[in-house]
Chains A and B, each alone.
Chain A
Amino acid sequence: MDSDNITREKELARGRSDEQEPRRLRTAQGSTANRASETRTEPAVTVENLDMYYGSFKALQDVNMLIGRNRVTALIGPSGCGKSTFIRSINRMHEIVPKARVEGKVLLDGEDVYASDVDPVRVRRKVGMVFQKPNPFPTMSIYDNVVAGIKLGGNHKKSELDEVVERTLRQAALWDEVKDKLKQGGTSLSGGQQQRLCIARTLAIEPEVILMDEPASALDPVSTQKIEDAMEDLKKKYTVVIVTHNMQQAARISDYTGFFFIENMGDPGRLWEFDETSKMFSNPNRKETEDYVTGRFG
């Protein structure tokens, strides 16, 4: 990774001094940091020196990243270089895989999600996830799919559920298509609708951060468009991290872009370059980034 960049980020992660304030603003919030709703300036997620292992295989090495609040951060790079692995380390979903382990720090609002007294279940309620393949619960209706996280998570008031269902389905741009058949099975929908249902389901638990692992890769262009439209609204309220193989998509929807890369076969994946999306796609610092975003390999 670019050594200037990494030093800056490390400083930013630690630094709270006035002198660094302007720069932190710029990095975490981008150049349009003046919206009324944005009073908190620290990054939503800070990743420090993250290494990731599957057994003895090192999948990621020394990733450092500041993920801006209410920003869309896109992660791009060739297959198998650790993008999905990386976002799973943010909500500890990698722990489902036996022998997967992490070294380093992931700070969510300044709290280390890997601290010994942190329950991964609580982390995942703050950091929601949308998967590559739409995966609605097959035994549940559309309605129940949306409120599944709330219902299975414990405390909820029945009277609030109707409101949650309508609000989140509207946010996911699905409401008009399903409002008359909320009691039908979630798997009766088309693939694109199922994926938007999964987005609504994630929104219903009111996370702060939403991780999306190639959410549109299995969908047709029309469905992809609808999901991108929905994301435009989402970033007003949420911090979004999206893995994508679609360069145009990354360029269209994201404020920041991270490029993951493996130099030699068998090496761990690294965050090769991380910057504002406009810079990454017009004038990246490193040659590999430029080759990738212009489609010369990968």
Chain B
Amino acid sequence: MSSLSGTSAFYRRRKLVDRLMTVLAYACTAAAIIPLTWIVIYVIYRGLGAWDLAFFTELPQLFGDGGGVRSGIVGTLVIVGLATLMGVPVGIMAGIYLAEYGDNRLGGVIRFMADTLTGVPSIVVGLFAFGVVVVNFGYSAFAGAVALAVLMVPIITRTTEEIIRLVPDSIREASLGLGVSRWKTIMRVVVPTALSGIVTGVLLAVARVAGETAPLILTIFGTNFPISSNVFSGPSTTLSLQIFQLGGAPSPQVVEVAWGAALLLVLMVLGISLMARLVFRGQSVSGGR
């Protein structure tokens, strides 16, 4: 009998185990994907019904037909925008420092603190902003933006560092060898080479904080009245906060508005994530061949 074509008990058992493990792997993948798709489909199913003109143009009404989330849309854009303005420069600069100058004890300390800050519960960051900003200046969109910026900085810092480290040293050498100063080499050669990755990191950080709720409860108060036109003073609200406040209301119409807001928020985050993927695919870090 040929030694290749034998059907021993061992061979059959091995084949069976192989089958089992394949099925198990597929099952686990499905278990991971099903809840995700379910959430998206369910949010669309429940939320799309709430979308009408009033949803985008009116204020919430806890009694009656529920109203709309205009204030939340504006508030989200303003607060996330402010947080981005504050967090991005700090995060990128810190990332540049860590990648280019951070191979020392100070760099190690900063890296450790950034990693720790990434893991700090966001409500703690909200409490921090409450203690520093709200206690002294009162509730404001600015206070909320400070909390979100603090959450963004470590994410941007670490992604910026990682992506700048990917820029090959030969590119730095080329620039330094031309008699270009270290600083100009970093800002005009290294950062542009890593730009698509840095933008991706920023977008992912924006997507991450756009749905934050806990720190905002403590800093922007959340209001169903028109939000303050002064970002430095007076209560504001966001979509996430409105989902929290309207979702628990007794009236089904109001709950429907909360679902509509949830759908809007999911689509915003999805859009930003897609944008991040497109930016990164368009251009990748590489130093030639």
Residues of A within 8 A of B (CB): 91, 93, 96, 98, 121-126, 128-129, 131, 133-139, 148-149, 152-153, 186-187, 191, 194, 198, 201-202, 205
Contacts and interface: CB of A to CB of B under 8 A. Distances in A.
Contact of A93 (B176, B184, B192): B176
B164 to A, nearest CB: 14
A97 to B, nearest CB: 10
Nearest to B178: A149
B188 interface: yes
A133 B170 contact: yes
B179 A137 contact: no
Given A96-B172, A96-B173, A152-B189, A135 B287 contact: yes
B179 A122 contact: yes
Contact of B177 (A91, A186, A187): A91
A110 to B, nearest CB: 20
A134 B288 contact: yes
B286 interface: yes
B176 A138 contact: no
Contact of A153 (B169, B171, B180, B189): B180
Contacts, number: 87
A125 B184 CA distance: 14
Contacts of A198: 174
Given A136-B288, A152-B188, A201 B178 contact: yes
Nearest to B182: A121
A202 B168 CA distance: 19
What are the 8 A-B residue pairs with the smallest beta carbon separation, nearest first? A125-B179, A149-B178, A124-B179, A129-B177, A135-B170, A187-B288, A135-B174, A152-B180
Contacts of B71: none
A152 B174 contact: no
11 contacts: A96-B169, A122-B179, A123-B179, A128-B178, A131-B177, A137-B174, A137-B189, A138-B286, A152-B175, A152-B184, A153-B180
A41 B287 CA distance: 41
Contacts of A133: 170
B177 A137 contact: no
Given A135-B288, A136-B288, A137-B189, A153 B174 contact: no
Contacts of A187: 286, 288-289
Contacts of B176: 93, 96, 124
Interface residues of B, number: 26
Contacts of A201: 174, 178
Interface of B: 103, 168-181, 184-185, 188-189, 192-193, 195, 286-289
Contacts of B180: 121, 148-149, 152-153
Summarize A's interface: helix, strand, loop or mixed.
helix
Nearest to A98: B103
Most chain B beta-carbon neighbours within 10 Å: one of A91, A137, A153, A194? A137
B178 A124 contact: yes
B247 to A, nearest CB: 47
Nearest to A152: B180
A91 B179 CA distance: 9
A122 B181 CA distance: 9
A194 B287 CA distance: 12
B179 A121 contact: yes
B178 A135 contact: no
Contacts of B185: 152
A194 B174 contact: no
A93 B188 contact: no
Given A128-B178, A152-B189, A153-B179, 11 more contacts: A93-B173, A121-B181, A129-B177, A131-B174, A135-B288, A139-B192, A149-B180, A152-B180, A153-B180, A191-B289, A201-B174
Contacts of A121: 179-181
B178 A205 contact: yes
Given A131-B173, A133-B170, A139-B193, A152 B288 contact: no
A124 B179 CA distance: 5
A149 B289 CA distance: 21
B171 A135 contact: yes
Contacts of A148: 175, 178, 180, 189
B251 to A, nearest CB: 56
A129 B192 CA distance: 22
A136 B174 CA distance: 8
Contact of B175 (A98, A123, A137, A191): A137
Contacts of B171: 135, 137-138
Contacts of A129: 173, 177
A194 B171 CA distance: 13
Contacts of B195: 139
A292 B197 CA distance: 48
Given A122-B179, A148-B178, A135 B189 contact: no
A96 B185 CA distance: 13
Nearest to A133: B170
A138 B193 contact: yes
A135 B184 CA distance: 17
